[in-house]
């Protein structure tokens, strides 16, 4: 049963939100590739020491731990929304963020307030300094610090559950200090190969690092190479492997630009579901979320499952925007396989005469491979570089596009300017598509929706 409601009054921090963000952005940050040269290797000892300094809040809240390459953010949001709809106070930790770092720490789907965020930084900072200077394992990283903030916040608000999304990999990710009730692994594909390995088996091995002895693991539909690794590791650790493709049947009902409806049938019955999220893979994400919640073994009403899936809004995942009548589709796909799924979904959902592509990528991801997946849509390309420190240059993107046989009509270091250019050339029968990285997707959304971005040094 959900815990009794607790009052939560934010203690006004002495540190401003702006100063708090500037402080933690000075930490080693492997996501953004800044302030990290010469930093120690990935391990969990720093994180364990930091959590011990603040009373191990990560162990005080029942956890659903979610790893994977594709769909882990959407799946985590769906699990959170289902549990919240049933009355459970549920924390959600995800990364990266689109517009504000507060998006990483949520209760339900509502981001932490700026005052609470600053208060958490103020509370944790002296402990992180102690671990960095005296712990013997090097300096706390940005991701470790914010992960610790999330654990502290969820314990402080009296969360019934916390849904924790892995940042990178799994085995050595800072989130892997939790003691989960259920582990979830979403689809695996080649990504971050320089860190995780260059085969599906190697990457799956890193993701399988979240599997704990005796803890059930829910696996979304996977390649045979990946599921073989999960089955082996689960067997070695005495963990029950629940394969979504074996325990849940998905039946599509209707799909349109306003969303899609479908049915998920499990041993507990049939759920008639609807989501505003587009793409066939969102049905698989929903089935994975339902299976994970059922695997918890706690009573969750059927109405909560239906309401929870319907309530999820997860920007930059096949998000359709309009600007002066122009249709602009925004998606944060950032590897060739995800972009291939996106291209298929564009064909499924849209008819258009011309496609204008706003495309940028971060280094370490295959811009050439992603662009090859889009050639069948015959786009005209705006090659862009986002504000992200790891962004490939506009020239590198343009060169990759031309090598794929695509016409490059515009190049810019300003995603907002490229968005305005694209909107001007998109007629009533045309479509603009922005993809290649979450950073590009975020900056297009900011331009079209007038969102003030957080700019980091």
Which CATH topology does 319-449 take?
A: 3.90.190
pLDDT exceeds cutoff 90 at 36: no
The answer to whether 219 and 248 have CB atoms below 8 angstroms apart is no
Supply angle C-alpha 229, 267, 293, rounded to 5: 65
Please state, in angstroms and rounded to a whole number, the distance separating the CA atoms of residues 126 and 182. 32
Please state, in angstroms and rounded to a whole number, the distance separating the CA atoms of residues 108 and 312. 10
Mean pLDDT of 321-349: 93
Place of tokens 């600053």: 118
Res. 30 pLDDT band, cuts 50 70 90: low
SS3 280: helix
- What pLDDT score was predicted for residue 40? 45
Same fold, 17-311 and 319-449: no
Place of tokens 């799909």: 255
Helix, strand, coil shares, percent, the chain, to 5: 45, 20, 40
Element at 81 (helix H, strand E): helix 72-85
Token readout for 210 is: 């979240």
More confident residue, 132 or 324: 132
- What pLDDT score was predicted for residue 298? 85
More confident residue, 103 or 299: 103
- CA nearest neighbour of 68 among 195, 203, 267, 256: 203
- What pLDDT score was predicted for residue 139? 92
What residue segments make up the domains of the chain, in order of their start? 17-311, 319-449
Please state, in angstroms and rounded to a whole number, the distance separating the CA atoms of residues 98 and 120. 20
Res. 14 pLDDT band, cuts 50 70 90: confident
- CA nearest neighbour of 151 among 71, 76, 52: 52
- CA nearest neighbour of 91 among 72, 104, 74: 104
- What pLDDT score was predicted for residue 199? 87
240 backbone dihedrals φ, ψ, rounded to 5°: -75, 125
Please state, in angstroms and rounded to a whole number, the distance separating the CA atoms of residues 266 and 374. 36
Residue 348 Cα distances to 255, 345, 377, 414, angstroms: 9, 5, 12, 30
Q: What are the b/e assignments for 322-339, b being 16+ CB within 10 Å?
A: ebeebbbbbbbbbbbbbb
Q: What is the DSSP string of 408-457?
A: EEEEES-HHHHHHHHHHH--TT-EEEEESSHHHHHHHHHHHHTPPPPP--
- What pLDDT score was predicted for residue 28? 79
- What pLDDT score was predicted for residue 35? 43
- CA nearest neighbour of 409 among 424, 393, 422, 428: 422
Token readout for 253 is: 């009902």
Res. 365 pLDDT band, cuts 50 70 90: confident
pLDDT exceeds cutoff 50 at 26: yes
Which CATH topology does 17-311 take?
A: 3.40.1190
SS3 19: helix
pLDDT exceeds cutoff 90 at 215: yes
Beta-bridge mates of residue 326: 323
- What pLDDT score was predicted for residue 4? 55
What is the dihedral angle through the alpha carbons of 415, 416, 417, 418, rounded to the nearest 10 degrees? 50
- What pLDDT score was predicted for residue 233? 97
More confident residue, 10 or 421: 421
* Percent share of the chain, pLDDT over 90: 83
**Contact residues for 56 (Cβ-Cβ < 8 A; gap 6+):** none
Segment 368-412, tens digit of pLDDT: 999 999 999 999 999 999 999 989 999 999 999 999 999 999 999
Res. 169 pLDDT band, cuts 50 70 90: confident
- What pLDDT score was predicted for residue 120? 97
Average per-residue pLDDT for the chain: 92
Mean pLDDT of 179-207: 82
Mean pLDDT of 348-364: 94
How many helical (H) and strand (E) elements, i.e. helices and strands, does the chain have? 16, 17
Per DSSP, 32 falls in state T
- What pLDDT score was predicted for residue 93? 98
Mean pLDDT of 285-304: 95
Segment 78-124, tens digit of pLDDT: 999 999 999 999 999 999 999 999 999 999 999 999 999 999 999 99
* Percent share of the chain, pLDDT over 70: 92
Please state, in angstroms and rounded to a whole number, the distance separating the CA atoms of residues 387 and 444. 12
Token readout for 306 is: 């239906």
- What pLDDT score was predicted for residue 455? 85
Mean pLDDT of 185-195: 72
Element at 91 (helix H, strand E): strand 90-93
The answer to whether 339 and 367 have CB atoms below 8 angstroms apart is no
Ordered strands of the 110-111 beta sheet? 110-111, 105-107, 90-93, 161-165, 63-67, 182-185, 217-219, 241-243
- CA nearest neighbour of 287 among 327, 313, 319, 249: 249
């Amino acid at each position: 049963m959900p815990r009794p409601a607790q009052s939560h009054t934010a203690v006004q921090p002495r540190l401003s939100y702006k100063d708090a963000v500037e402080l933690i952005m000075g930490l080693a940050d492997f996501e953004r590739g800044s302030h990290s040269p010469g930093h120690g290797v990935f391990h969990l000892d720093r994180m364990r020491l930091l959590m011990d300094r603040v009373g191990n809040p990560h162990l005080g809240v029942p956890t659903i731990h979610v790893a994977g390459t594709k769909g882990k953010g959407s799946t985590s949001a769906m699990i959170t929304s289902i549990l919240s709809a049933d009355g459970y106070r549920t924390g959600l930790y995800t990364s990266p963020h689109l517009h504000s770092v507060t998006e990483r720490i949520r209760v339900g789907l509502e981001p932490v307030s700026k005052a609470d965020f600053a208060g958490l930084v103020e509370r944790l900072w002296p402990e992180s300094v102690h671990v960095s200077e005296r712990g013997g394992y090097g300096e706390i990283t940005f991701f470790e610090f914010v992960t610790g903030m999330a654990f502290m916040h969820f314990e402080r608000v009296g969360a019934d559950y916390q849904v924790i999304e892995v940042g990178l990999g799994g085995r050595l990710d800072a989130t892997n200090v939790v003691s989960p009730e259920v582990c979830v692994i979403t689809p695996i594909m080649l990504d971050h190969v320089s860190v995780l390995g260059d085969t599906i088996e190697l990457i799956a091995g890193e993701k399988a690092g979240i599997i704990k002895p005796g803890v059930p693991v829910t696996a979304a539909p996977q390649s045979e190479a990946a599921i073989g690794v999960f089955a082996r590791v689960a067997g070695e650790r005495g963990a029950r492997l629940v394969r979504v493709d074996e325990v849940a049947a998905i039946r599509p009902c209707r799909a349109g630009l306003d969303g899609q409806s479908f049915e998920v049938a499990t041993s507990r019955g049939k759920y008639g579901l609807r989501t505003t999220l587009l793409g066939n893979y969102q049905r698989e994400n929903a089935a994975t979320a339902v299976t994970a919640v059922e695997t918890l073994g706690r009573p969750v009403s059927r109405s909560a499952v239906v309401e929870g899936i319907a309530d999820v809004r997860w920007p930059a995942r096949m998000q359709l925007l309009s600007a002066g009548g122009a249709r602009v589709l925004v998606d944060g796909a950032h590897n060739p396989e995800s972009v291939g799924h996106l291209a298929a979904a564009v064909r499924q959902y849209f008819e258009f005469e011309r496609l204008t592509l706003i495309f940028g990528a971060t280094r370490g991801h295959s811009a050439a491979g992603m662009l090859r997946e889009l050639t069948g849509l015959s786009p005209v390309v705006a090659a862009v570089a986002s504000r992200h420190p790891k962004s490939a240059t506009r020239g590198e993107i343009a060169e990759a596009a031309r090598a794929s046989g695509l016409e490059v009509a515009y190049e810019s270091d300003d995603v907002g300017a490229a968005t305005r250019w694209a909107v001007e050339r998109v007629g009533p029968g045309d479509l603009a598509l922005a993809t290649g990285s979450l950073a590009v997707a975020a900056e297009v959304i900011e331009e079209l929706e007038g969102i003030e971005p957080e700019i980091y040094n």
